[in-house]
Structure 1
């Protein structure tokens, strides 16, 4: 029982990271209604940039570890901010009125570009951060023996806080009402004085910020985010949000959290080599079942 509870707690940490990615994905897709494969690459690029900048500050600029971590955080924020603005203006804006597949192809190319950029910048090497806030915090008493590290708890709290803040903005502020208006009827919202293009740009920047935060938290915890993980994470989030629906970011976050917990349980009881295959098979099954139910309801 203690082993199962430990896996479940570890799964909650995975769930926090996946939830951030799914929440960010729906912020974009809810407005563009286009398939986007770049968010997984943004996740990996953010973590990799943070690690490389931290390593540069530590080994080249002779910074202390806290200063190097702060420097890496600043560089990652600058890169993601500039990159997100360029992507919104020069990829999404020109392709928004075109065929749906153009954004898919463009973001796939962007993912490959970011992966190769990270690989070349790292000279095809893996850089690792030292363990941070790795002391275990005993939960449910020392007799049971289950624990989370301090950093896991911090990551979970940050992810929960960001999603909660996002929901407050979506449900309680004019920004959320504008997002829903543009998502439902962009032409009608434009007649009411709303600029759909500006709203989409702001949503893309917010979504990239959320996904970059997930990559940053993953880099802090795992110590490394490989440059070739972007495609896998992007596909997982695409399948998760397709199965959970694109209309509500919170629903997608809940679905992603469930997948994160399932991944942790699978890794504890079955072969890790088959984990991704099992997760994708489950998501395909859920997606097919959900599609059949929707078609039956229409009939």
Structure 2
């Protein structure tokens, strides 16, 4: 039972990272209504950028560790904001009304560009941050086995919950949130009602991009490194998870992604980890087939009546 509890707690941490990614993805999808393959790339790029700047500040500028981390995190958010602005103005807006395949191809190009940019900047070397706030906090103990999470894991979870709560409240209660829902439902009608649809579009993309950047930064601080190809894997997972939920709301997507993270952790604890990705993606594909196949069957049945 204690082993199960340990895997569940581990799943809460990775699930929180997935939740933040899913929240940002659904925000962007709400105004874009297209498959966005660049979201995972922004997550990985942000983590790698933070690590590279921190390494530069430590080794070249001789900064203290807290100072170099503060500079790296601030600069990373700046890069992420610039990426979000460029994407919204130069990629998403011009292609939003075109074929859905155009957005898929364009965001795939963005993913490859960001992945290669990070790899070339690091000269294909893996840089690692030192373990930080790795002191274990004991939740349960018995028969010599301790159920723990590190201080960094707890801090990450707390920051993500706070970010999701603040963002969810902003979407639900503020004027921007009301405008966002209006533009998501019918941008033409929203424009006729005096809403600046372009401003709302760019704001949604920027907020979603910053969510992905925050997830990447927190993941890098905990794991110490993010692989160059991890953006595609994380992006596909979030794409499938949010598609199963039909992009209904950012908070629901975050909750579903958190459950997915717990399930992934439980698999890692009880089954061969080398098969984890394959079975997880197979499960998501089956869920998508059942969901959308069932909808098509019901629609055909109603038409026959």
Q: Which position in structure 2 is the counterpart of 1:137?
A: 137
Q: Which position in structure 1 is the counterpart of 2:127?
A: 127
| 4+ residue runs over 6 A deviation | none
Deviation at 1:142, TM superposition (A): 7.2
- Aligned pairs for 1:209-224 within 5 A: 209-224=210-225
Q: Which position in structure 1 is the counterpart of 2:74?
A: 74
CA contact 1:240–1:256 (8 Å) conserved in 2: yes
CA contact 2:2–2:140 (8 Å) conserved in 1: no
Q: Which position in structure 2 is the counterpart of 1:233?
A: 234
CA distance in 1, matches of 2:290, 2:252: 17
Deviation at 1:290, TM superposition (A): 1.0
CA contact 2:133–2:151 (8 Å) conserved in 1: yes
CA distance in 1, matches of 2:10, 2:32: 34
CA distance in 1, matches of 2:74, 2:124: 23
CA distance in 2, matches of 1:150, 1:211: 22
Classify the secondary structure of the residue corresponding to 2:137.
strand
CA distance in 1, matches of 2:234, 2:160: 17
**Unaligned residue ranges in structure 1 (runs of 5+):** none
Write out per-residue CA displacement over residues 77-106 of structure 1, whole angstroms, 9 at most, x where no aligned residue: 111111111111111121122111111100
Deviation at 1:221, TM superposition (A): 0.3
Deviation at 1:139, TM superposition (A): 1.2
Corresponding pairs, count = 299
CA contact 1:259–1:279 (8 Å) conserved in 2: no
Q: TM-score, normalised by structure 1?
A: 0.97
CA distance in 2, matches of 1:181, 1:45: 31
Q: Which position in structure 1 is the counterpart of 2:182?
A: 181
1:297/1:176 CA distance change after superposition, 3 Å: farther
CA distance in 2, matches of 1:290, 1:133: 42
CA distance in 1, matches of 2:244, 2:5: 27
Q: Which position in structure 1 is the counterpart of 2:20?
A: 20
Q: Which position in structure 2 is the counterpart of 1:34?
A: 34
Q: Which position in structure 2 is the counterpart of 1:164?
A: 165
- Aligned pairs for 1:97-136 within 5 A: 97-136=97-136
CA distance in 2, matches of 1:173, 1:132: 37
Instruction: Tell me the C-alpha RMSD between the 2 structures.
Output: 1.2
Does residue 253 (structure 1) correspond to residue 233 (structure 2)? The answer is no
Deviation at 1:218, TM superposition (A): 0.1
Deviation at 1:292, TM superposition (A): 2.4
Classify the secondary structure of the residue corresponding to 1:227.
coil
**Unaligned residue ranges in structure 2 (runs of 5+):** none
Write out per-residue CA displacement over residues 252-280 of structure 1, whole angstroms, 9 at most, x where no aligned residue: 11111111011111111111111110110
Moved more, 24-33 or 81-90: 81-90
CA distance in 2, matches of 1:88, 1:115: 19
CA distance in 2, matches of 1:142, 1:294: 48
CA distance in 2, matches of 1:62, 1:214: 27
Classify the secondary structure of the residue corresponding to 1:145.
strand
CA contact 1:51–1:127 (8 Å) conserved in 2: yes
Q: TM-score, normalised by structure 2?
A: 0.95
Q: Which position in structure 2 is the counterpart of 1:243?
A: 244
Q: Which position in structure 1 is the counterpart of 2:290?
A: 289
